[in-house]
Amino acid sequence: MHSFEAISLDALDTMGTEQLDTLPFGVVGLTSEGLVEIYNATEERLAGLPREGVIGTHYFSVTAQCMNNFMVAQRFEDEAEIDAVIDYVLTLRMRPTPVRLRLLKASGKERHFILIQR
Amino acid sequence: MTSELEAENAALLQFLYACPAGLIEFSASGGIGMVNPAAMNLLLPIAGRPFVTNLFEVMEGCAPELRNMIQRFEPAHGAICDGHRIVTGRGDRSLVLACSIVKLTQERYITTLTDVSEQVARERRLKQAEAWFASLLDGVDDVAVLSLDANGCIDAVTGSALRQTGFAETELLGRRFEAFDRPDRASAMPLPGEAIAIARRDGWHLHEGWHARADGGRYWCQRLVAVRDHAEAPSAGFTLVMRAVTRQGKDAADLRRMLTRDHLTGASNRAHFFEAAERQRVRSLQGGESMAVIVLDVDHFKRVNDGYGHAAGDTVLREVARRCEAELRPEDIFARLGGEEFVALLPSATLEMAVVAADRLRMSLAGKTIDCGEAQLSITASFGCSTLDAAPAATLAELLAAADAALYQAKRSGRNRVVSFKADQVAA
């Protein structure tokens, strides 16, 4: 099952770019320093940003300032393991957009994920 | 491959995503149309929940005035506020935001939000430092403390205030603190309400000028209006601290003279005139009153300089300033604009009153010779007047230009006379 709620961090980690691009929700994969490694086609389209401009940048300070707070960015710093779904409002293309975020972080895994469902 | 337009679009989006200042587009009812991440990041903690769709609802708790400011703003478009301060939250989690709003259409507004908490903290410290240094420099004799309500009306006084001013408590309570200002020609007073507005914005407002005493006299007063620090009610009111300065340091007095007076004649200098005149113009407009500008130019002044030397010329200019100031009211401003050209600003004077005043100046110059040592010189001047009641929408520059045009006419029609500008004379 590759649904927004059910997909596992392991599954995401092993998927190739093409597979990730077929997922109907946004997938952002970050290094432990917060640099963007994965930015799938869905997220590319909805945020209006081609992945070449996002990959390698610091996600919370360049692209997702609105997640740079205690509700999202801080949790990745504070918590060793997260698998949580939260209701949120993003400013995609400057429009306040209600979304559901799934935050995924596991101990022993270098990469963590933010899944975004509109 | 992305097209050029798409690439540009992406660059613009990234520009806005990364912008360090909050940027919001919203409707007349507060509905957020567009918002950048920095703005959302500032709004989320205020809202306390992640669903932020209406600016007025989010700001209801800390800045309910935003809604009113927008409703009250009548022009079809324009800046509604610039750097309006909003204190959010409470206690140690409180932030101060600077908010600027521009109205684009009846339905569309844009605002920027910036976190200025650090600056505000710095200003507070600066205020303390400044107050300390002022007391060291000026030899403060007495400090009076009063309490002002949110509108700047005195709502409590201490014994020190009664001692300093001589007024009884009942004479002070309920009155606006500015009612006790006694401005003179040399002091540019803030507009009524300006001190409160600035204190509300920046936390404080400092001013020095003449202040009334109960016996009809006045004293030189340093005045600090400071926002009262109540985290739970930021607009509770203000504390007014007044310091009577009887021994104004010689340096401070010299500096003040240098900054506001013309070194030769002792009249106000240009800078001071333009500052004071612009304030007066705004005040007159607000009060629906007139204001007169009289420009005067000494006739054939070159002949004095050429025939009797520059020392005689200087004597003439000093005497012109002395005689004119003696004929003017205390609230009038008399300034040297340059060379042998002077200007008088008469608050609340109509065109008719200005012509009478100008003719009084004219006669006081022409009536008696000026003693220049070896020579007794007969001096006349030509006058041009313009007023707000004749040209209600005029800017200061326009008033001066109109007075200049009238002065030119006075010169052309024979000198030693007063000509007033009338709107219908422009074509004549």
Chain B: residue nearest A51 by CA?
A: B10
> In this structure, are B146 and B110 located in the same domain?
no
Alpha-carbon distance A51 to nearest alpha carbon in chain B (angstroms):
10
Label residue B427 by pLDDT band (50, 70, 90): very low
In a domain, A1, yes or no: no
How many domains does chain A fold into? 1
B271 lies in the same domain as B361: yes
User: A4 in a domain, yes or no?
Assistant: no
CA Rg, chain B, in Å?
A: 27
Do B171 and B240 belong to one domain?
A: yes
Count of A–B CB contacts within 8 Å?
78
Are B144 and B191 part of one and the same domain? yes
Residue B153's CATH number = 3.30.450.20
What angle do helix axes B351-366 and B310-327 make, rounded to 10 degrees? 140
Higher pLDDT, B260 or B400: B400
Which ipTM did the prediction report? 0.81
**Strand (E) or helix (H) holding B412:** helix B396-412
Contacts of B249 (CB under 8 A, 6+ apart): B137, B138, B139
Torsion angle of the four alpha carbons B72, B76, B78, B84, in this order, in degrees rounded to the nearest 10: 20
Say if residue B247 is in the same domain as residue B135. yes
Q: What is the pLDDT of residues B253-289, one digit of tens each?
A: 666 666 678 878 889 888 788 888 888 888 888 888 8
B234: containing domain: 120-256
Sort out which chain A residues have CB atoms less than 8 A from B113's CB and list them.
none
Q: Could you tell me which residues of chain B have a Cβ less than 8 Å from any Cβ in chain A?
A: 2, 6-7, 9-11, 13-14, 16-18, 23, 25, 32-41, 44-45, 50-53
The answer on B403 and B379 residing in a single domain is: yes
Q: What CATH number has the domain bearing residue B411? A: 3.30.70.270
CB contact under 8 A, B45 and A62: no
For residue A101, the domain's CATH number is 3.30.450.20
Per-residue pLDDT of chain A (118 residues; tens, 9 = 90+): 689 999 999 999 999 999 999 999 999 999 999 999 999 999 999 888 899 989 999 999 888 888 888 889 999 999 999 999 998 888 878 888 889 999 999 988 999 999 999 8
Write down which residue in B232, B256, B280 finishes a domain. Answer: B256
**pLDDT for residue B237:** 87
Question: Do B317 and B185 fall into the same domain?
Answer: no
Q: Give the burial class of B318: count Cβ atoms within 10 A of its Cβ; 0-12 exposed, 13-18 middle, 19 or more buried.
A: middle
User: Does a structural domain hold residue A32?
Assistant: yes
9-48 of A, contacting B, C-beta below 8 A: 47-48
- Cα separation of B122 and B42, whole Å? 21
Last residue of a domain, one of B94, B115, B136: B115
pTM of this structure: 0.47
Task: Give domain status of residue A2, yes or no.
Answer: no
Phi, psi of B135 (to 5 degrees): -70, -35
Domain of residue A64, residue span: 9-117
Asked if A66's CB is within 8 angstroms of B41's CB, the reply is: yes
Last residue of a domain, one of B69, B85, B115: B115
Choose among B10, B17, B40: nearest Cβ to A62: B17
- CB atoms A49 and B10 under 8 Å: yes
Q: How many CA atoms lie within 13 A of B52 on its CB side?
A: 30
Please report residues of B whose CB lies closer than 8 A to that of A99.
none
B212 and B165 within one domain = yes
Rg from Cα positions in chain A? 13
Residue A69 belongs to some domain of the structure? yes
pLDDT in tens, B117-173: 888 777 766 765 666 556 545 555 568 889 999 889 999 988 888 988 999 999 999
Is residue A3, in this structure, part of any structural domain at all? no
